[in-house]
Structure 1
């Protein structure tokens, strides 16, 4: 399973109404400004924890880009804190939380609010069945 797939499952369980995509948002969904969309990108996959002349772990990172829909009826901050706590339960630690900003590329009277998070996790090779 790719790291983005694992994070997508966590987000989908946390907020089932959010539309979660890996790598890119499909063209038919790109102009959907009503619904909150989440774009996941794998940003790190480094080997680490050397011992006995080999690596024993993989450091992973996923960037989470949240495009808030205009129909959002909750506090963005509370949603983000809850999401980070849900990810933390699966050992994904938030290593970056950037300020909100407006999507100026939205060609409408209103712009979507965007939030970027980066989460990281170290996976021991033994945990994924490889020795």
Structure 2
């Protein structure tokens, strides 16, 4: 699957509301962050706490342009929690951390404007 990050790209194909509901996007707090120098592209390994029901999940994110591991701990982020785990080198990424491209294509994390309970689902 290739995602087009170009802001001038046309709108994706129309989907039904049920298809949107199938994607489970939740908010969580980053509890651990560490460099991942073994990755092909510069990345940071994250542990994100999604609350008592989902628990802690791991993610690898290509976010080194705007973030350091130290700046991420305690930050809330949004992630897709119902994709199958993905092997990224020696690391298994369990969730897809979400962001938007800046003007140069680097990732800016998606986060709520104010603190919300971990595990809350996007609607």
In the superposition, the TM-score normalised over structure 2's length comes to: 0.25
In the superposition, the TM-score normalised over structure 1's length comes to: 0.24
| Greater C-alpha radius of gyration | 1
